[in-house]
């Protein structure tokens, strides 16, 4: 059985730290990491946690303690990773559309650099030649993921250098003597079909002959986790078997033994996260019954931005009769978390929990409507520890010139 926090534990944490509150369960993160390690135990695999899903330094420190490396998409994520104790050799920096100065800053910090733009590749090669190895992010033109908004490998994506520009890449590598140590792809999120990874791997392996110093192929991530009962998830065990065989076949054919890298983010922290809110008002209209809570898309934007589903339960009246509610927030915008959800009767003051809230929850939060950001709590060995204080009014004025 997976590690879960029960209603009583969640209610106690909400009573202690107030609401809204994000709660992360350390043992569930460890459980997910162990599943990946087991699935790819016979491959030469490394796992780089995608920091963008949740960057609280305490979470980063815990994930480092499990043995993971770190995937960063901004220079500040790199700095947070270093603060959390990751060594530069365990950090992969994969920016997109950033100023070249930021890439130079990453180079000075000594981390792995992943370049996804012809112009940047040429600038970097002209400046450093073969003195600093790089990875190249390719766009394999594979449509994948739950929907177009979270697919990053299609032909219109801003991410990666088109696989059809390989001749241009070759010219830059040759003329600048660039040292390419890895090739990378990431096709999107919520990938149910492991054949997406295998097709991408096939594309990546076809590029290996162009880069004699290649050490690894990075397949990104996008592993799907279930969001509601009956939801499928990526079969990482089967994928592990297929990847192992593909690399063994490749080694026999070419004599090259390469590492395979993955960048799990949501897969590690999503199911470990809970978001607990309080019902402020119950409002009946001719069409529906609204349960209005003390949060909004300023704290959890995924349902509004991606039409993402989060299972919701009433944790303080879990034996009440089931009724149908539309769960909405307290923001002066349309911030509907869920339409027509069956919940145990919601009373004003009840606590509701959103499950699968560990990834891209707090990380995408804001102070819209001058609302305060919530607290974050980490539960480890049964102990709940505050890892981010709730915003106070003065935080709204921080950096304003008065």
| Residues forming the active site | 332
Quote the CA–CA distance of 19 and 276 in Å, as a whole number. Answer: 6
Neighbours of 326 (CB within 10 A): 18
User: Which two structure tokens, joined as six digits, stand for 96?
Assistant: 């997109």
In the 3-class helix/strand/coil scheme, how is 98-166 assigned residue by residue?
CCHHHHHHHHHHCCEEEECCHHHHHHHHHHHCCCCCEEEEEECCCCCCCCHHHECCCCCCCCCEEHHHH
CB contact set of 21 (below 8 Å; sequence gap of 6+)? 13, 14, 275, 276, 374, 375, 376, 377, 390
End-to-end CA distance of the chain: 54
Q: What is the DSSP string of 357-402?
A: -SSSSGGG---GGGPPPPEEEEEETTEEEEEEPPP-HHHHHTT---
Percent of the chain that is helix, strand, coil (3-state, to 5): 35, 25, 40
CB contact set of 243 (below 8 Å; sequence gap of 6+)? 40, 43, 45, 197, 198, 201, 219, 260
């Amino acid at each position: 059985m997976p590690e879960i926090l029960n209603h009583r534990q969640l209610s106690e944490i909400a009573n202690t730290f107030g609401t809204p509150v994000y709660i992360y369960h350390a043992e569930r993160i460890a459980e997910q990491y162990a599943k990946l390690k087991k699935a790819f135990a016979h491959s030469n695999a490394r796992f780089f946690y995608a920091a963008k899903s949740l960057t609280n330094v305490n979470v980063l420190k815990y994930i480092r303690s499990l043995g993971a490396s770190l995937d960063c998409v901004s220079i500040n994520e790199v700095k947070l990773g270093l603060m959390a104790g990751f060594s530069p050799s365990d950090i992969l920096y994969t920016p997109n559309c950033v100023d070249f100065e930021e890439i130079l800053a990453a180079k000075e910090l000594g981390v792995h650099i992943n370049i996804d733009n012809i112009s940047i590749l040429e600038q970097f090669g002209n400046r450093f030649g073969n003195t600093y190895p790089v990875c190249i992010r390719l766009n394999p033109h594979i449509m994948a993921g739950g929907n177009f908004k979270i697919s990053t490998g299609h032909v219109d994506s801003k991410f990666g250098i088109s696989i059809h520009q390989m001749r241009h890449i070759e010219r830059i590598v040759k003329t600048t003597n660039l040292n390419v140590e890895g090739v990378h792809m990431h096709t999107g999120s919520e990938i149910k079909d492991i054949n997406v990874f295998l097709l991408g791997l096939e594309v990546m392996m076809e590029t290996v002959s162009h880069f004699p110093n290649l050490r690894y192929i990075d397949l990104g991530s996008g592993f799907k986790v279930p969001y509601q009962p009956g939801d499928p998830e990526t079969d990482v065990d089967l994928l592990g078997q297929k990847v192992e065989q593909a690399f063994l076949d490749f080694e026999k054919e070419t004599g090259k033994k390469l590492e395979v890298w993955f960048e799990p983010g949501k897969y590690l922290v999503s199911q470990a996260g809970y978001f607990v809110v309080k019902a402020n008002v119950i409002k009946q209209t001719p069409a529906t019954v609204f349960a209005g809570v003390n949060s909004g898309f300023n704290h959890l934007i995924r349902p509004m931005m991606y039409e993402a589903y989060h299972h919701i339960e009433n944790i303080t009246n879990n034996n009440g009769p089931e009724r149908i509610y539309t769960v909405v927030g307290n923001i002066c915008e349309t911030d509907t978390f869920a339409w027509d959800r069956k919940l145990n009767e919601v009373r004003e003051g009840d606590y509701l929990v959103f499950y699968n809230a560990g990834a891209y929850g707090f990380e995408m939060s804001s102070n819209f409507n001058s609302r305060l950001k919530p607290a974050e709590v980490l539960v480890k060995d049964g102990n709940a520890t505050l890892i981010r204080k709730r915003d106070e009014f003065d935080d709204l004025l921080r950096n304003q010139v008065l």
